[in-house]
A and B are shown apart, each in its own frame.
Chain A
Amino acid sequence: MEKCTSKKKGVFNASVLANEQIGECFYRLSLAIEGQAAEAFNMTKPGQFAEFELSNASLPSEEKIPNELADKALRQIILRRPFSFSDIEITGNKGKLEVLYCVLGPATLRMKTLSPGDKISIIGPLGNGFSIEREKTLAILVAGGMGVPPLLHLAKELSKSKTKTIAFVGAKSGSQLPCSEIKNVQTLISTDDGSMGFKGFVTAMLKEWLVKEKPDVSKAIIYTCGPEIMMAGVAKIAGEFGIGCQVSLERVMACGTGLCQGCAVKCIDKKTKEAGYKLCCKDGPVFWADEVVF
């Protein structure tokens, strides 16, 4: 997926516009960028990401740190953290980047305390995003939990074309979703506990729908982001039905820029049929499902 790599990546300053809780588990951070940063992020594809420097953001005061994160709060972080975007708007030499995140560790605990006017350093745009297949008339989005954000961005891009889009969104429970529907898109929700929508895994809901609706698979494409085990399930279903599928993977990264070689993804070379490692940050994070060894 080389076509959608942005060339003008760099280290940029971004200014916090807003940072607010949405729903029970998610927060939305909005950042303002300008000048060269706005230029660099102008062509950013959904699924591309940036590395955020959060080590100098402060921790919440002690009483605001949840018990289950008390130990993690004691970690001095040094590495940046990768985030993809739920939305990017660029107008002229100014732009807005939007990130949805959950507070899970020492970096996101710090991220939560950012307030309007704070400056943070970001490196981006990085990696290869979803490659929008214009000839496909049906786009099937499959998101799980924290995998929702880049698909919101993708849904917005798809809405600019004539592609019909349908979204399958799964989570453990209704309260763990960042939104109950994707704007302007037919959205089917599944929850493991049945608190909202279909009771069960999003993969089961997807399969049921494909069997029932029998879409023209030659005109359809699946874009997915979520837990790797879920995406492995989606990739398998896509294979069974003969639908092309792009997966957005996640790995622990030290740099995000191809320097550390830490974020290896086992892939099969389509020509040689040999297995080898690619890098999630440079070759991905979006891969064709049939090249990934899950």
Chain B
Amino acid sequence: MNKVDLTIDFAGLKLKSPVFTASGTCGYADELDDFMDIGRLGGFITKSITIEKRDGNPVPRIVETNSGMLNAIGLANVGVEKFIAEKLPLLKNYKTPFFVNIAGKTIDEYIAVAEKLAQFEQIAGFELNISCPNVKKGGITFGTDPQLIHQITSAVKKAGGKKILITKLTPNVTDISITAKAAIEAGTDALSMINTFTAMVIDIETRKPVLANRTGGLSGPAIKPIAVYLVNKVYNEVAKSANVPILGGGGIRSTADAVEFLIAGATAVSIGTASFIYPDTAIKIIDGIEDYCRRHKIERVGDLTGSLK
């Protein structure tokens, strides 16, 4: 066979490949432009946008760990108005669907950002960040409470009009299927999983946490096997029967890592921390998935989803 069909159906959108770049690891696209053809991505998810500009946390915001890293950026972003004025016009240059990651301190703030952005054609949809572990009030408190997830998901879905809504789940819960179910019942079009694990690194000389925020979110290869397990769990327990696609990710560095997520039940994958090391990782993985499919005589990449034996 020569041709592998890499296109996927993602909540009714036809995407040219199953690989996204993850929010907070790819800026607003212009930063990555020197390194790769953004147009080949299945989707691009921007850094979180909030109603007001946010400076973010004091430094250190980053610390490397064994096969991973902690970040506590604190949703530093330009704010929705400046995003519309300065960043949004640039997105027209790229032929890839853009998803804007939305964050806030209150449900009203999420709604306000979604309402302001709903009119723009160059935005394919939103990723709802209810799982940022680095912001006090909001973020993770929304993401761990099924009732709040229901409220915020349905409110943002309504505010976003026809835009696709992806809800990003935190792994910092006892049973992620419960939070996934809450988002699905509230009408989310897709799930994105997983966000980072809340974690801490201590400087033993000073006996203080290394990060100024004290805790941060653990990402990178260290979390990958847990992420694969959680994607498979949610796929089997809630997403498959509801026919809601999963954007899977957590520690993906290689084609093999990405294919694991697809087999586990993800319809698409997102590349995060790996882009810091090789900014063109997502493109290499698109090519790698194509090779894998050819080798295994898989005609459509979508056939891999949930093919775990």
Contacts and interface: CB of A to CB of B under 8 A. Distances in A.
Contacts of B67: 76, 78
Contacts of B55: 276-277
Interface in A114-167: 121, 123
Interface in B47-95: 47, 55-69, 71, 73, 76
Given A78-B67, A78-B277, A259-B26, A252 B60 contact: yes
Interface in B14-69: 24-27, 31-32, 34-35, 47, 55-69
A251 B59 CA distance: 8
A154 B71 CA distance: 33
A211 interface: no
B69 A79 contact: yes
Given A9-B34, A78-B220, A78-B221, A264 B58 contact: yes
Contacts of B58: 264, 266
A8 B34 CA distance: 7
Contacts of B27: 258-259
Contact of B279 (A11, A79, A251): A11
B120 interface: no
B229 interface: no
14 contacts: A9-B34, A11-B35, A11-B278, A76-B67, A78-B64, A78-B67, A78-B221, A78-B273, A80-B276, A253-B62, A255-B275, A257-B35, A262-B73, A263-B62
B280 interface: yes
Contacts, number: 97
Interface string A239-279: 00000000000011111011111111110000000001100
B276 A259 contact: yes
A196 interface: no
Interface string B257-280: 000000000000000010111111
Contact residues of B: prevailing secondary structure:
loop
A28 to B, nearest CB: 25
Contacts of B76: 261, 264, 277
B56 A261 contact: yes
The size bracket of the interface on B is 35 or more
A194 interface: no
A79 to B, nearest CB: 5
A254 B34 contact: no
B25 A259 contact: yes
A257 B31 contact: yes
Given A10-B35, A259-B31, A252 B279 contact: no
Contact of B64 (A79, A266, A276): A79
A276 B24 CA distance: 19
Given A79-B276, A276-B55, 15 more contacts: A75-B64, A76-B67, A77-B64, A78-B64, A78-B273, A78-B277, A252-B60, A254-B69, A255-B276, A258-B31, A259-B26, A259-B275, A261-B73, A262-B73, A277-B55
Interface of A: 7-11, 53, 55, 75-80, 121, 123, 251-255, 257-266, 276-277
Query: Which 7 interchain pairs have the tightest Cβ spacing?
Result: A262-B62, A255-B276, A258-B31, A262-B61, A76-B67, A254-B276, A254-B62
A277 B220 CA distance: 26
Nearest to B47: A261
Contacts of B59: 251-252, 262-265
Given A78-B64, A264-B76, A277-B56, A259 B69 contact: no
A257 B26 CA distance: 10
Interface of B: 24-27, 31-32, 34-35, 47, 55-69, 71, 73, 76, 220-221, 273, 275-280
A173 B65 CA distance: 32
A257 B66 contact: no
Contacts of B26: 259
Contacts of A7: 34
B111 to A, nearest CB: 25
B61 A264 contact: yes
A78 B34 contact: no
Contacts of B56: 261, 264, 277
Contacts of A80: 276-277
B79 to A, nearest CB: 12
Contacts of B276: 79-80, 254-255, 257, 259-260
A252 B203 CA distance: 15
B90 to A, nearest CB: 14
Nearest to B210: A252
Nearest to A123: B279
Most B-side CB within 10 Å, residue of A254, A255, A277: A254
Nearest to B60: A252
Nearest to B62: A262
Contacts of B69: 78-79, 254
B277 A79 contact: yes
Nearest to B21: A259
Most A-side CB within 10 Å, residue of B27, B32, B56, B64: B64
Contacts of A262: 59-62, 71, 73
B61 A261 contact: yes
Nearest to A264: B59
B221 A260 contact: no
A11 B280 contact: yes
A49 to B, nearest CB: 15
A53 B76 CA distance: 27
